[in-house]
Structure 1
Protein backbone atom coordinates (compact mmCIF):
# COMPACT_ATOMS: atom_id res chain seq x y z
CA UNK A 1 0.00 0.00 0.00
CA UNK A 2 1.37 3.41 -0.94
CA UNK A 3 2.05 5.72 2.01
CA UNK A 4 -0.34 8.48 0.86
CA UNK A 5 -3.19 5.97 0.67
CA UNK A 6 -2.27 4.46 4.04
CA UNK A 7 -2.35 7.83 5.79
CA UNK A 8 -5.38 9.35 4.04
CA UNK A 9 -7.70 6.41 4.57
CA UNK A 10 -6.21 5.29 7.89
CA UNK A 11 -5.35 7.90 10.54
CA UNK A 12 -6.60 10.66 8.22
CA UNK A 13 -10.06 9.02 8.00
CA UNK A 14 -11.08 10.87 4.83
CA UNK A 15 -14.65 9.61 5.11
CA UNK A 16 -15.04 11.46 8.38
CA UNK A 17 -14.38 14.84 6.77
CA UNK A 18 -17.38 17.19 6.41
CA UNK A 19 -16.99 17.49 2.64
CA UNK A 20 -18.30 13.92 2.47
CA UNK A 21 -21.35 12.54 4.22
CA UNK A 22 -23.23 9.38 5.00
CA UNK A 23 -20.05 7.31 4.96
CA UNK A 24 -19.48 7.80 1.24
CA UNK A 25 -16.21 9.11 -0.18
CA UNK A 26 -16.80 10.44 -3.69
CA UNK A 27 -17.30 13.74 -5.50
CA UNK A 28 -20.91 12.96 -6.35
CA UNK A 29 -23.12 12.81 -9.42
CA UNK A 30 -25.34 15.86 -9.09
CA UNK A 31 -27.66 15.61 -12.10
CA UNK A 32 -30.83 15.03 -10.03
CA UNK A 33 -29.95 17.58 -7.33
CA UNK A 34 -31.68 20.97 -7.53
CA UNK A 35 -28.69 23.29 -7.76
CA UNK A 36 -30.90 26.40 -7.60
CA UNK A 37 -31.48 25.72 -3.91
CA UNK A 38 -28.99 25.74 -1.02
CA UNK A 39 -26.98 22.55 -0.75
CA UNK A 40 -27.07 20.69 2.54
CA UNK A 41 -25.93 17.32 3.82
CA UNK A 42 -29.02 15.58 2.39
CA UNK A 43 -28.19 16.82 -1.11
CA UNK A 44 -24.54 15.88 -0.65
CA UNK A 45 -25.42 12.33 0.37
CA UNK A 46 -27.89 12.10 -2.51
CA UNK A 47 -25.14 13.06 -4.96
CA UNK A 48 -22.86 10.32 -3.65
CA UNK A 49 -25.60 7.69 -3.71
CA UNK A 50 -26.50 8.82 -7.23
CA UNK A 51 -22.94 8.25 -8.41
CA UNK A 52 -23.36 4.62 -7.37
CA UNK A 53 -26.75 4.48 -9.05
CA UNK A 54 -25.27 5.86 -12.25
CA UNK A 55 -22.42 3.34 -12.21
CA UNK A 56 -24.78 0.48 -11.46
CA UNK A 57 -27.03 1.64 -14.28
CA UNK A 58 -24.02 1.38 -16.58
CA UNK A 59 -23.12 -2.04 -15.18
CA UNK A 60 -26.68 -3.34 -15.47
CA UNK A 61 -26.72 -5.95 -12.69
CA UNK A 62 -29.70 -8.27 -12.90
CA UNK A 63 -31.58 -9.37 -9.79
CA UNK A 64 -29.63 -12.13 -8.13
CA UNK A 65 -26.27 -10.98 -9.46
CA UNK A 66 -23.05 -11.45 -7.54
CA UNK A 67 -21.29 -8.09 -7.43
CA UNK A 68 -17.77 -7.08 -6.43
CA UNK A 69 -16.83 -3.51 -5.52
CA UNK A 70 -13.10 -2.79 -5.74
CA UNK A 71 -12.14 -0.09 -3.27
CA UNK A 72 -15.33 -0.28 -1.22
CA UNK A 73 -14.27 2.10 1.56
CA UNK A 74 -16.90 2.06 4.29
CA UNK A 75 -19.21 -0.18 2.27
CA UNK A 76 -22.02 2.32 1.77
CA UNK A 77 -22.16 1.60 -1.94
CA UNK A 78 -22.46 -2.10 -1.12
CA UNK A 79 -25.51 -1.25 0.98
CA UNK A 80 -27.06 0.67 -1.93
CA UNK A 81 -26.60 -2.38 -4.17
CA UNK A 82 -28.24 -4.70 -1.68
CA UNK A 83 -31.07 -2.31 -0.92
CA UNK A 84 -31.96 -1.09 -4.40
CA UNK A 85 -30.69 -3.59 -6.97
CA UNK A 86 -31.71 -6.98 -5.64
CA UNK A 87 -28.17 -8.29 -5.67
CA UNK A 88 -27.94 -11.83 -4.37
CA UNK A 89 -24.56 -11.12 -2.80
CA UNK A 90 -22.18 -8.19 -2.68
CA UNK A 91 -18.49 -8.37 -1.87
CA UNK A 92 -16.70 -5.21 -0.87
CA UNK A 93 -12.93 -5.33 -1.21
CA UNK A 94 -10.54 -2.69 0.08
CA UNK A 95 -6.79 -2.59 0.53
CA UNK A 96 -6.91 -0.66 3.80
CA UNK A 97 -7.55 -2.64 7.01
CA UNK A 98 -8.78 0.43 8.90
CA UNK A 99 -11.35 1.15 6.24
CA UNK A 100 -12.57 -2.43 6.45
CA UNK A 101 -12.74 -2.22 10.24
CA UNK A 102 -14.93 0.87 9.94
CA UNK A 103 -17.05 -0.83 7.29
CA UNK A 104 -17.60 -3.89 9.48
CA UNK A 105 -18.71 -1.65 12.33
CA UNK A 106 -21.07 0.30 10.08
CA UNK A 107 -22.70 -2.87 8.71
CA UNK A 108 -22.41 -5.11 11.78
CA UNK A 109 -26.11 -5.96 11.87
CA UNK A 110 -26.23 -7.06 8.22
CA UNK A 111 -22.99 -9.00 8.53
CA UNK A 112 -24.42 -10.89 11.53
CA UNK A 113 -27.91 -11.41 10.21
CA UNK A 114 -27.27 -12.06 6.51
CA UNK A 115 -23.61 -12.99 6.13
CA UNK A 116 -24.33 -14.69 2.81
CA UNK A 117 -25.42 -11.34 1.30
CA UNK A 118 -22.49 -9.12 2.28
CA UNK A 119 -18.85 -9.89 2.84
CA UNK A 120 -15.95 -7.49 3.31
CA UNK A 121 -12.52 -8.67 2.18
CA UNK A 122 -9.06 -7.15 2.27
CA UNK A 123 -7.27 -7.20 -1.05
CA UNK A 124 -5.49 -5.12 -3.67
CA UNK A 125 -6.95 -4.19 -7.04
CA UNK A 126 -3.92 -5.82 -8.67
CA UNK A 127 -4.17 -9.09 -6.69
CA UNK A 128 -7.79 -9.96 -6.01
CA UNK A 129 -8.28 -12.90 -3.62
CA UNK A 130 -11.16 -14.48 -5.55
CA UNK A 131 -11.83 -17.43 -7.82
CA UNK A 132 -11.92 -17.17 -11.60
CA UNK A 133 -15.35 -16.17 -12.89
CA UNK A 134 -16.73 -15.58 -9.40
CA UNK A 135 -18.71 -12.39 -10.15
CA UNK A 136 -21.38 -11.23 -12.56
CA UNK A 137 -20.45 -7.57 -12.13
CA UNK A 138 -17.33 -5.73 -11.00
CA UNK A 139 -17.59 -2.04 -10.14
CA UNK A 140 -15.22 0.53 -8.72
CA UNK A 141 -16.29 4.02 -7.68
CA UNK A 142 -13.66 6.73 -7.33
CA UNK A 143 -10.81 4.43 -6.41
CA UNK A 144 -8.99 3.76 -9.69
CA UNK A 145 -7.11 7.06 -9.44
CA UNK A 146 -5.18 5.39 -6.59
CA UNK A 147 -4.40 2.06 -8.31
CA UNK A 148 -0.68 1.89 -9.12
CA UNK A 149 -1.04 -0.65 -11.96
CA UNK A 150 -4.12 -0.33 -14.17
CA UNK A 151 -2.95 -3.19 -16.36
CA UNK A 152 -2.93 -5.59 -13.41
CA UNK A 153 -6.30 -4.26 -12.22
CA UNK A 154 -7.78 -4.86 -15.68
CA UNK A 155 -6.34 -8.38 -15.87
CA UNK A 156 -7.75 -9.24 -12.45
CA UNK A 157 -11.13 -7.77 -13.35
CA UNK A 158 -11.26 -9.92 -16.49
CA UNK A 159 -10.26 -12.98 -14.48
CA UNK A 160 -12.88 -12.69 -11.71
CA UNK A 161 -15.73 -11.81 -14.09
CA UNK A 162 -17.79 -14.70 -15.39
CA UNK A 163 -18.22 -15.01 -19.17
CA UNK A 164 -20.87 -12.46 -20.09
CA UNK A 165 -20.08 -10.36 -17.01
CA UNK A 166 -19.58 -6.60 -17.02
CA UNK A 167 -17.30 -4.06 -15.38
CA UNK A 168 -18.04 -0.38 -14.67
CA UNK A 169 -15.47 2.02 -13.22
CA UNK A 170 -16.00 5.65 -12.24
CA UNK A 171 -12.98 7.86 -11.64
CA UNK A 172 -11.13 10.95 -12.81
CA UNK A 173 -8.39 10.86 -15.43
CA UNK A 174 -6.48 13.24 -17.64
CA UNK A 175 -8.17 13.82 -20.98
CA UNK A 176 -5.08 12.80 -22.99
CA UNK A 177 -1.51 11.55 -22.59
CA UNK A 178 0.25 14.89 -23.08
CA UNK A 179 3.53 14.62 -21.13
CA UNK A 180 2.99 17.80 -19.12
CA UNK A 181 -0.32 16.65 -17.56
CA UNK A 182 1.14 15.07 -14.38
CA UNK A 183 3.29 18.10 -13.61
CA UNK A 184 0.47 20.52 -14.29
CA UNK A 185 -1.91 18.63 -11.99
CA UNK A 186 0.74 18.39 -9.26
CA UNK A 187 1.04 22.18 -9.34
CA UNK A 188 -2.74 22.65 -9.17
CA UNK A 189 -3.86 19.92 -6.78
CA UNK A 190 -2.29 18.70 -3.57
CA UNK A 191 -3.63 15.17 -3.98
CA UNK A 192 -1.62 14.75 -7.20
CA UNK A 193 1.43 16.44 -5.70
CA UNK A 194 1.39 14.10 -2.68
CA UNK A 195 0.97 11.01 -4.83
CA UNK A 196 -2.44 10.12 -3.43
CA UNK A 197 -3.95 10.50 -6.92
CA UNK A 198 -2.06 9.34 -10.01
CA UNK A 199 -2.32 11.36 -13.23
CA UNK A 200 -3.07 9.05 -16.17
CA UNK A 201 -5.18 9.39 -19.30
CA UNK A 202 -8.51 7.60 -19.45
CA UNK A 203 -7.08 5.60 -22.37
CA UNK A 204 -4.71 3.96 -19.87
CA UNK A 205 -7.73 2.15 -18.45
CA UNK A 206 -9.61 1.53 -21.68
CA UNK A 207 -6.45 0.15 -23.33
CA UNK A 208 -5.79 -2.02 -20.27
CA UNK A 209 -9.28 -3.49 -20.42
CA UNK A 210 -8.87 -4.22 -24.12
CA UNK A 211 -5.46 -5.82 -23.54
CA UNK A 212 -7.02 -8.00 -20.83
CA UNK A 213 -9.47 -9.43 -23.39
CA UNK A 214 -12.55 -7.43 -22.44
CA UNK A 215 -14.78 -6.13 -25.21
CA UNK A 216 -17.19 -3.26 -25.91
CA UNK A 217 -14.87 -1.02 -23.91
CA UNK A 218 -16.25 2.51 -23.60
CA UNK A 219 -15.41 5.69 -21.68
CA UNK A 220 -18.10 8.33 -21.15
CA UNK A 221 -17.51 11.73 -19.57
CA UNK A 222 -19.87 12.69 -16.77
CA UNK A 223 -17.88 15.79 -15.90
CA UNK A 224 -20.72 18.28 -16.42
CA UNK A 225 -22.66 16.49 -13.67
CA UNK A 226 -19.69 16.28 -11.30
CA UNK A 227 -17.29 19.21 -11.37
CA UNK A 228 -19.45 22.40 -11.20
CA UNK A 229 -21.62 21.18 -8.33
CA UNK A 230 -18.66 19.63 -6.51
CA UNK A 231 -16.95 23.03 -6.67
CA UNK A 232 -20.08 24.71 -5.37
CA UNK A 233 -20.12 22.30 -2.43
CA UNK A 234 -16.42 22.93 -1.74
CA UNK A 235 -17.13 26.68 -1.59
CA UNK A 236 -18.64 26.12 1.87
CA UNK A 237 -15.09 25.61 3.19
CA UNK A 238 -12.58 26.90 0.64
CA UNK A 239 -12.18 30.13 -1.27
CA UNK A 240 -11.46 30.09 -5.02
CA UNK A 241 -7.72 30.65 -4.48
CA UNK A 242 -7.26 27.42 -2.48
CA UNK A 243 -6.16 24.16 -4.03
CA UNK A 244 -9.37 22.06 -3.66
CA UNK A 245 -11.16 24.53 -5.93
CA UNK A 246 -8.66 23.73 -8.69
CA UNK A 247 -10.50 20.52 -9.61
CA UNK A 248 -13.00 22.67 -11.46
CA UNK A 249 -10.17 24.73 -12.96
CA UNK A 250 -8.43 21.59 -14.23
CA UNK A 251 -11.69 20.49 -15.85
CA UNK A 252 -12.35 23.89 -17.39
CA UNK A 253 -8.81 24.01 -18.76
CA UNK A 254 -9.31 20.64 -20.45
CA UNK A 255 -6.78 18.77 -18.33
CA UNK A 256 -8.89 16.52 -16.11
CA UNK A 257 -12.31 14.93 -16.45
CA UNK A 258 -14.54 12.40 -14.74
CA UNK A 259 -15.45 9.22 -16.62
CA UNK A 260 -17.46 6.05 -16.39
CA UNK A 261 -15.61 3.23 -18.15
CA UNK A 262 -17.45 0.02 -19.01
CA UNK A 263 -16.30 -3.29 -20.47
CA UNK A 264 -17.68 -6.79 -21.02
CA UNK A 265 -16.14 -10.20 -20.65
CA UNK A 266 -16.96 -12.20 -23.78
CA UNK A 267 -19.12 -15.28 -23.40
Structure 2
Protein backbone atom coordinates (compact mmCIF):
# COMPACT_ATOMS: atom_id res chain seq x y z
CA UNK A 1 0.00 0.00 0.00
CA UNK A 2 1.38 3.42 -0.90
CA UNK A 3 2.37 5.52 2.15
CA UNK A 4 0.17 8.52 1.19
CA UNK A 5 -2.89 6.24 1.08
CA UNK A 6 -1.90 4.62 4.37
CA UNK A 7 -1.69 7.99 6.11
CA UNK A 8 -4.80 9.55 4.61
CA UNK A 9 -7.10 6.62 5.27
CA UNK A 10 -5.46 5.65 8.55
CA UNK A 11 -4.57 8.15 11.23
CA UNK A 12 -5.74 11.21 9.27
CA UNK A 13 -9.17 9.71 8.37
CA UNK A 14 -9.81 11.55 5.10
CA UNK A 15 -13.57 11.55 5.72
CA UNK A 16 -13.00 14.28 8.32
CA UNK A 17 -11.53 16.62 5.71
CA UNK A 18 -13.95 19.54 5.12
CA UNK A 19 -13.94 18.82 1.38
CA UNK A 20 -16.16 15.89 2.32
CA UNK A 21 -19.01 15.51 4.82
CA UNK A 22 -21.10 12.96 6.62
CA UNK A 23 -18.47 10.21 6.58
CA UNK A 24 -18.44 9.79 2.79
CA UNK A 25 -15.34 10.37 0.66
CA UNK A 26 -16.38 11.30 -2.88
CA UNK A 27 -16.81 14.44 -4.97
CA UNK A 28 -20.55 13.96 -5.27
CA UNK A 29 -23.14 13.90 -8.03
CA UNK A 30 -24.87 17.28 -7.94
CA UNK A 31 -27.64 16.97 -10.53
CA UNK A 32 -30.86 18.05 -8.83
CA UNK A 33 -29.05 20.08 -6.17
CA UNK A 34 -29.16 23.87 -6.45
CA UNK A 35 -25.45 24.70 -6.43
CA UNK A 36 -25.94 28.34 -7.43
CA UNK A 37 -26.97 29.49 -3.97
CA UNK A 38 -25.29 28.96 -0.60
CA UNK A 39 -24.34 25.32 -0.10
CA UNK A 40 -25.08 23.59 3.19
CA UNK A 41 -23.49 20.51 4.67
CA UNK A 42 -26.75 18.68 3.97
CA UNK A 43 -26.28 19.45 0.26
CA UNK A 44 -22.76 18.05 0.38
CA UNK A 45 -23.91 14.85 2.08
CA UNK A 46 -26.75 14.44 -0.40
CA UNK A 47 -24.38 14.88 -3.35
CA UNK A 48 -22.26 12.00 -2.07
CA UNK A 49 -25.28 9.81 -1.41
CA UNK A 50 -26.59 10.64 -4.88
CA UNK A 51 -23.36 9.47 -6.49
CA UNK A 52 -23.92 6.14 -4.80
CA UNK A 53 -27.54 6.08 -5.94
CA UNK A 54 -26.45 6.76 -9.53
CA UNK A 55 -24.00 3.85 -9.47
CA UNK A 56 -26.41 1.52 -7.68
CA UNK A 57 -29.22 2.24 -10.15
CA UNK A 58 -26.81 1.51 -12.99
CA UNK A 59 -25.95 -1.77 -11.27
CA UNK A 60 -29.53 -3.00 -11.80
CA UNK A 61 -29.67 -4.61 -8.36
CA UNK A 62 -32.30 -7.28 -7.77
CA UNK A 63 -33.73 -8.71 -4.55
CA UNK A 64 -31.62 -11.84 -4.97
CA UNK A 65 -28.38 -9.97 -5.73
CA UNK A 66 -25.23 -10.61 -3.74
CA UNK A 67 -23.47 -7.25 -3.97
CA UNK A 68 -19.82 -6.30 -3.43
CA UNK A 69 -18.40 -2.79 -3.09
CA UNK A 70 -14.68 -2.42 -3.82
CA UNK A 71 -13.12 0.42 -1.84
CA UNK A 72 -15.96 0.80 0.65
CA UNK A 73 -14.29 3.21 3.08
CA UNK A 74 -16.41 3.66 6.19
CA UNK A 75 -19.16 1.52 4.66
CA UNK A 76 -21.88 4.16 4.42
CA UNK A 77 -22.48 3.38 0.76
CA UNK A 78 -22.90 -0.32 1.55
CA UNK A 79 -25.49 0.54 4.19
CA UNK A 80 -27.29 2.81 1.70
CA UNK A 81 -27.28 0.03 -0.91
CA UNK A 82 -28.83 -2.43 1.52
CA UNK A 83 -31.35 0.05 2.87
CA UNK A 84 -32.57 1.60 -0.39
CA UNK A 85 -32.03 -1.13 -3.00
CA UNK A 86 -32.86 -4.24 -0.98
CA UNK A 87 -30.39 -6.84 -2.26
CA UNK A 88 -29.88 -10.21 -0.61
CA UNK A 89 -26.52 -9.10 0.83
CA UNK A 90 -23.84 -6.40 0.59
CA UNK A 91 -20.17 -6.90 1.40
CA UNK A 92 -17.77 -3.98 1.46
CA UNK A 93 -14.06 -4.52 0.77
CA UNK A 94 -11.32 -2.05 1.64
CA UNK A 95 -7.53 -2.25 1.53
CA UNK A 96 -7.03 -0.30 4.75
CA UNK A 97 -7.59 -2.08 8.08
CA UNK A 98 -8.61 1.17 9.80
CA UNK A 99 -11.38 1.74 7.25
CA UNK A 100 -12.70 -1.79 7.68
CA UNK A 101 -12.72 -1.30 11.46
CA UNK A 102 -14.62 1.98 11.08
CA UNK A 103 -17.12 0.35 8.74
CA UNK A 104 -17.77 -2.49 11.18
CA UNK A 105 -18.12 -0.10 14.13
CA UNK A 106 -20.36 2.34 12.33
CA UNK A 107 -22.81 0.15 10.47
CA UNK A 108 -24.26 -2.43 12.88
CA UNK A 109 -23.64 -5.40 10.57
CA UNK A 110 -26.54 -7.75 9.93
CA UNK A 111 -25.29 -11.36 9.67
CA UNK A 112 -25.44 -12.49 6.07
CA UNK A 113 -26.80 -9.16 4.86
CA UNK A 114 -24.08 -6.55 5.58
CA UNK A 115 -20.44 -7.30 6.22
CA UNK A 116 -16.99 -5.87 5.63
CA UNK A 117 -13.72 -7.55 4.65
CA UNK A 118 -10.10 -6.56 4.21
CA UNK A 119 -8.96 -6.96 0.62
CA UNK A 120 -7.63 -5.22 -2.46
CA UNK A 121 -8.95 -4.64 -5.96
CA UNK A 122 -6.23 -6.97 -7.26
CA UNK A 123 -7.11 -9.77 -4.83
CA UNK A 124 -10.78 -9.74 -3.85
CA UNK A 125 -11.55 -12.04 -0.90
CA UNK A 126 -14.28 -14.05 -2.64
CA UNK A 127 -14.54 -17.37 -4.49
CA UNK A 128 -15.06 -17.49 -8.24
CA UNK A 129 -18.58 -16.63 -9.46
CA UNK A 130 -19.82 -15.67 -5.99
CA UNK A 131 -21.19 -12.14 -6.57
CA UNK A 132 -24.03 -10.93 -8.78
CA UNK A 133 -23.07 -7.26 -8.71
CA UNK A 134 -19.73 -5.53 -8.12
CA UNK A 135 -19.48 -1.76 -7.88
CA UNK A 136 -16.92 0.86 -6.89
CA UNK A 137 -17.41 4.55 -6.12
CA UNK A 138 -14.42 6.90 -6.38
CA UNK A 139 -11.82 4.30 -5.51
CA UNK A 140 -10.37 3.07 -8.82
CA UNK A 141 -8.10 6.12 -9.04
CA UNK A 142 -6.15 4.54 -6.15
CA UNK A 143 -5.78 1.11 -7.75
CA UNK A 144 -2.22 0.44 -8.95
CA UNK A 145 -3.66 -1.57 -11.86
CA UNK A 146 -7.14 -1.28 -13.33
CA UNK A 147 -6.33 -4.33 -15.44
CA UNK A 148 -5.95 -6.48 -12.32
CA UNK A 149 -9.20 -5.03 -10.98
CA UNK A 150 -11.05 -5.85 -14.21
CA UNK A 151 -9.74 -9.42 -14.08
CA UNK A 152 -10.74 -9.85 -10.43
CA UNK A 153 -14.21 -8.40 -11.00
CA UNK A 154 -14.71 -10.82 -13.89
CA UNK A 155 -13.55 -13.70 -11.70
CA UNK A 156 -15.90 -13.08 -8.77
CA UNK A 157 -18.97 -12.14 -10.83
CA UNK A 158 -21.48 -14.79 -11.79
CA UNK A 159 -22.40 -15.20 -15.48
CA UNK A 160 -24.94 -12.46 -16.14
CA UNK A 161 -23.45 -10.29 -13.39
CA UNK A 162 -22.70 -6.60 -13.72
CA UNK A 163 -19.85 -4.25 -12.81
CA UNK A 164 -20.45 -0.52 -12.23
CA UNK A 165 -17.62 1.92 -11.54
CA UNK A 166 -17.61 5.67 -11.06
CA UNK A 167 -14.52 7.81 -10.57
CA UNK A 168 -12.22 10.22 -12.39
CA UNK A 169 -9.95 9.02 -15.19
CA UNK A 170 -7.53 10.73 -17.54
CA UNK A 171 -9.28 11.55 -20.80
CA UNK A 172 -6.25 10.56 -22.87
CA UNK A 173 -2.96 8.72 -22.32
CA UNK A 174 0.27 10.68 -21.96
CA UNK A 175 -0.99 13.61 -19.86
CA UNK A 176 0.50 12.49 -16.54
CA UNK A 177 3.02 15.33 -16.22
CA UNK A 178 0.33 17.99 -16.69
CA UNK A 179 -1.97 16.30 -14.19
CA UNK A 180 0.82 15.92 -11.63
CA UNK A 181 1.71 19.60 -11.98
CA UNK A 182 -1.86 20.61 -11.09
CA UNK A 183 -2.88 18.08 -8.48
CA UNK A 184 -0.88 17.12 -5.41
CA UNK A 185 -2.76 13.86 -4.94
CA UNK A 186 -1.38 12.60 -8.26
CA UNK A 187 2.10 14.03 -7.72
CA UNK A 188 2.39 12.28 -4.35
CA UNK A 189 1.07 8.95 -5.61
CA UNK A 190 -2.30 8.92 -3.86
CA UNK A 191 -4.13 9.01 -7.20
CA UNK A 192 -3.14 7.37 -10.48
CA UNK A 193 -3.96 8.94 -13.86
CA UNK A 194 -5.45 5.84 -15.47
CA UNK A 195 -6.70 6.72 -18.98
CA UNK A 196 -10.35 5.80 -19.43
CA UNK A 197 -9.38 3.80 -22.53
CA UNK A 198 -7.00 1.68 -20.46
CA UNK A 199 -9.87 0.68 -18.19
CA UNK A 200 -12.37 -0.05 -20.94
CA UNK A 201 -9.76 -2.06 -22.88
CA UNK A 202 -9.04 -4.03 -19.71
CA UNK A 203 -12.74 -4.79 -19.26
CA UNK A 204 -13.02 -6.11 -22.79
CA UNK A 205 -9.86 -8.18 -22.40
CA UNK A 206 -11.24 -9.63 -19.15
CA UNK A 207 -14.27 -10.92 -21.05
CA UNK A 208 -16.86 -8.28 -20.21
CA UNK A 209 -19.49 -7.32 -22.78
CA UNK A 210 -21.75 -4.29 -23.19
CA UNK A 211 -19.05 -1.96 -21.87
CA UNK A 212 -20.68 1.46 -21.49
CA UNK A 213 -19.00 4.77 -20.64
CA UNK A 214 -20.84 7.94 -19.64
CA UNK A 215 -19.23 11.26 -18.77
CA UNK A 216 -20.92 12.79 -15.72
CA UNK A 217 -18.37 15.56 -15.21
CA UNK A 218 -20.87 18.34 -15.82
CA UNK A 219 -22.72 17.18 -12.71
CA UNK A 220 -19.59 16.81 -10.57
CA UNK A 221 -16.76 19.27 -11.04
CA UNK A 222 -18.23 22.78 -10.94
CA UNK A 223 -20.49 22.19 -7.95
CA UNK A 224 -17.77 20.33 -6.06
CA UNK A 225 -15.44 23.27 -6.69
CA UNK A 226 -18.05 25.65 -5.27
CA UNK A 227 -18.19 23.53 -2.14
CA UNK A 228 -14.38 23.47 -1.78
CA UNK A 229 -14.37 27.25 -2.21
CA UNK A 230 -16.50 27.51 0.94
CA UNK A 231 -13.99 25.54 3.04
CA UNK A 232 -10.53 26.18 4.46
CA UNK A 233 -9.16 24.78 1.17
CA UNK A 234 -10.50 27.72 -0.87
CA UNK A 235 -6.96 28.72 -1.90
CA UNK A 236 -5.47 25.24 -1.96
CA UNK A 237 -4.66 22.71 -4.69
CA UNK A 238 -8.02 20.83 -4.64
CA UNK A 239 -9.45 23.80 -6.55
CA UNK A 240 -7.37 22.58 -9.50
CA UNK A 241 -9.64 19.59 -10.07
CA UNK A 242 -12.06 21.87 -11.91
CA UNK A 243 -9.21 23.23 -14.02
CA UNK A 244 -8.08 19.69 -14.84
CA UNK A 245 -11.58 19.09 -16.20
CA UNK A 246 -11.88 22.33 -18.17
CA UNK A 247 -8.35 21.82 -19.57
CA UNK A 248 -9.37 18.40 -20.87
CA UNK A 249 -7.08 16.38 -18.60
CA UNK A 250 -9.55 14.55 -16.35
CA UNK A 251 -13.22 13.71 -16.45
CA UNK A 252 -15.59 11.89 -14.15
CA UNK A 253 -17.16 8.75 -15.59
CA UNK A 254 -19.78 6.11 -14.92
CA UNK A 255 -18.72 2.81 -16.48
CA UNK A 256 -20.81 -0.36 -16.61
CA UNK A 257 -20.00 -3.77 -18.03
CA UNK A 258 -21.67 -7.17 -18.01
CA UNK A 259 -20.22 -10.62 -17.60
CA UNK A 260 -21.79 -12.69 -20.38
CA UNK A 261 -24.15 -15.50 -19.49
CA UNK A 262 -21.76 -17.94 -21.17
CA UNK A 263 -18.02 -17.48 -21.55
Q: Would you call these one fold, judging by a TM-score over 0.5?
A: yes
Partner residue in 2 for 1:212: 206
Q: Does 1:176 align with 2:166?
A: no
What secondary structure sits across from 1:49 in the alignment?
Answer: helix
Partner residue in 1 for 2:113: 117
Partner residue in 2 for 1:58: 58
CA distance in 1, matches of 2:56, 2:42: 21
Partner residue in 2 for 1:144: 140
Query: How many pairs align?
Result: 261
| Structure 1, 237-246 or 140-149: larger mean CA deviation | 237-246
* Shift of residue 238, structure 1, vs aligned partner: 5.2
Partner residue in 1 for 2:40: 40
Q: 2:190 aligns with which of 170, 192, 196?
A: 196
Partner residue in 1 for 2:102: 102
Q: 1:160 aligns with which of 136, 156, 161?
A: 156
What are the superposed Cα offsets for residues 101-150 of structure 1, whole Å, 9 maximum, x if unpaired?
1111111xx32xx2111110000100111011111100000000000011
CA distance in 2, matches of 1:37, 1:64: 42
* Shift of residue 204, structure 1, vs aligned partner: 1.1
Question: Does the CA-based 8 Å contact 2:229-2:235 persist in structure 1?
Answer: no
- Per the normalisation by structure 2, the TM-score is 0.97
Question: Does the CA-based 8 Å contact 2:228-2:234 persist in structure 1?
Answer: no
Task: Detail structure 1 runs of 4+ shifted over 6 Å in the superposition.
Answer: none
Question: Does the CA-based 8 Å contact 1:226-1:258 persist in structure 2?
Answer: yes
Change (3 A) 1:132 1:42: same
- Per the normalisation by structure 1, the TM-score is 0.95
Structure 1 gaps of 5+ residues are: none
Question: Does the CA-based 8 Å contact 1:238-1:244 persist in structure 2?
Answer: no
Structure 2 gaps of 5+ residues are: none
What secondary structure sits across from 1:130 in the alignment?
Answer: coil
Q: 1:228 aligns with which of 206, 216, 222?
A: 222
